Structure 1
Amino acid sequence: MTLWLISFGLISGITTWLFGFGGGFVTVPLLYTLILTLWGIDSLPAEHAMQIAVATSALIMLFSATVTTIKHHKAKRLDWNIMSILFIGIAFGGILGALLALTVKGVWIKWIFIGYLFVTILDCYFRPGFMAPTHNSKKVTKAKESINGTVIGIIAAFLGVGGSVMTVPLLRRRGTPMAQSAAIANALTLPLALTATFTYVALSFTSPLNSESGFIGYIWLKAALILICSTWVGLKISERFLSRIPDKWHARVYPLLLSLVLIVMLF
């Protein structure tokens, strides 16, 4: 188990830096599979496997988003004037998404996760503006941006995946290069990870897993600690050695990685 967590933590760190994933697309399928394997399909943790995976993923994303936001800010890759409205909307949506995840059966979260991945992959390939971005001259109002941010926060916190799967395509269709889109996506993952984690911890007393050792509410502490440490190593590797990918290939690899995650969740 530990080796799997370390390996996927490294992958999480690399994909977080390069694509702004926040780690959720890597850690949620892994944690879901490990829970079923370790405790058995008929156990209490297995019954709530998706909630555990989503809540634990939120804590890991909080760490990775904090680290990457600080680094991108120091490198002056972030335009806070552009991001501020989205930032607030995502923070609010993160609370609503976490609350929603606690009220829905885990199996429904799994299939919504799969459906969302499938739609996103098709959107990247077939809707113009992602593979070859063009500048969008349409004016974005504060009201529309607030709604965009709230919707992103709700979906991302509900599925435990970070906001990149929505923010990166959104920014690409506004003409933003992949590297900068990933940097902004990482920063925008921070508010939702913060509010979602706080919500899961604050409502931990309602968790049926309180009788199980190693959990705070739905957060699996041992897995979170190992993944956080290995994610940090993955971030360092990606920052130093893998940060100069041509924009065209950067965009092509993005939906391919999402396709791999989709296959894992299906089988």
Structure 2
Amino acid sequence: MDVVALLGVGLLAGTTTVLFGFGGGFVTVPVVVWANAALGADAARVAVATSVVVMVVNAAFATAVTPRRTLAALRGGRPLLLLLAVGGVAGAFATRLAPGALTHWAFVGYTAVTLADVLLRPGFLRPRAASAGSPGPRPLPAVVGAPVGAVAAFLGVGGSVMTVPAMRRAGHPMRVAAALANPLTLAIALPAAAIHLAFVPGPGGGHAAHGAPAGLVDVRAALALLAGALPVIALLRRRPPRIPDRLHAWAYAGLLAMVAAAMSLFGP
């Protein structure tokens, strides 16, 4: 039954990858914690590692099917991508060393802080109207790459929870901000996934409860999630839903609230 549930969550992860740029991280971490509840505090570490691997595939596929004209907004962003990757390596090693309970509650806390930020600080739910003479959307500064990558890889969220609000406040509509979050997520998740897959836990520690573990990764959960997610990503990229920008932003905030509540309920 857990495989059926994981397939269903994979469908949701594919939807959030396209609509919110999450790559599945904010959806997959709570459900993999649930699937590996027998591990206790280590469930959060396995969930983060599994989420990062799922995000690599989801984000890469979503980026590949994104129109080139949309991705052109990242032109000249190589320093940002490089620093995101450096941060991703640091965050993956931090997950490997940190206690599972710390990873779990850091995820909950960061989600809550981000939710408060998008609800209370101007520019996300209520973007400033562009005037005729105002410049176009601003690029993200490269200097934010390392800290964003480190936090994202440590929590298994891929970076979109930070980059989507930042790009929206920089002048992008939600549709574009979510699409651009996928290549940024890929830059973080790819090196982080390599570390999680290579890491072999010590005796009695860190093994996934289901399927054959590779490092800290629950392979069975990852495959089930991807089987559900990839067809949805392909479908929604070919026929993107028409969602009003304000409603799109509120839906993003609502999903953050749901995820924070779910992780709180499954606390170690």
Instruction: Give the TM-score taking structure 2 as reference length.
Output: 0.89
Q: How far apart in 2 are the matches of 1:132 and 1:174?
A: 13
Aligned residues: 257
2:11 is aligned to 10
The corresponding residue for 1:52 is 46
Structure 1 partner of 2:148: 152
**C-alpha distance after superposition, 1:100-149 (max 9, x if no partner):** 01111111111110110000001001101111223697x989xx923201
CA positional deviation for 1:246? 1.3
| CA–CA distance in structure 1, aligned partners of residues 83 and 93 of structure 2 | 16
Cα separation, partners in 2 of 1:76 and 1:147, compared to 1, 3 Å: same
Give the aligned partner of residue 109 of structure 2.
115
Q: Map 1:13-162; keep pairs closer than 5 Å.
A: 13-36=14-37, 40=38, 45-72=39-66, 74-78=67-71, 79-134=73-128, 145-162=141-158
Shift of 1:239: 2.6
Aligned partner of residue 131 in structure 1, secondary structure: coil
- Distance verdict in 2 for CA 1:107–1:210, change over 3 Å: closer
How far off its partner does 1:206 sit? Answer: 5.4
Select 1:215's aligned residue among 213, 216, 220: 213
Are the aligned partners of 1:25 and 1:161 in contact in 2 as well (CA < 8 Å)?
A: yes
Q: Once the two structures are superposed, what CA deviation does each residue of 1:172-193 show, in whole Å capped at 9, x if it has no partner?
A: 1111110110011011000111
Normalised by the length of structure 1, the TM-score is 0.89
Letter of the 2:113 counterpart: V
Structure-2 separation of matches of 1:171 and 1:50: 29
Show structure 2 runs of 5+ residues with no match. Answer: none
Which amino acid is the alignment partner of residue 29 of structure 2? V
Counterparts of 2:223 and 2:93, CA distance in 1: 24
Taking structure 1 as reference, are residues 109 and 209 closer, same or farther at Cα in structure 2, changes over 3 Å only? closer
Give the Cα separation in 1 of the matches to 2:223 and 2:161. Answer: 25
Answer whether contact 1:85 1:145 (CA < 8 A) is retained: no
Sequence identity (%): 38
202-211 vs 6-15, which deviates more? 202-211
The change in CA–CA distance for 1:11 and 1:151 in structure 2 (over 3 A counts) is same
CA contact (8 A) 2:25 2:51 kept: yes
| Letter of the structure 1 residue corresponding to residue 70 of structure 2 | R
CA contact (8 A) 1:133 1:174 kept: no
CA displacement, residues 142-176 of structure 1 (integer Å, 9 cap, x when unaligned) = xx923201111001100001111000011111111
Q: Does the 8 Å CA contact 1:206/1:217 hold for their aligned counterparts? A: no
Match of 1:256 among 254, 258, 263: 254
User: Does the 8 Å CA contact 1:101/1:158 hold for their aligned counterparts?
Assistant: yes
Q: CA deviation at 1:242?
A: 4.6
* Residue 241 of structure 1: how far off its partner (Å): 4.6
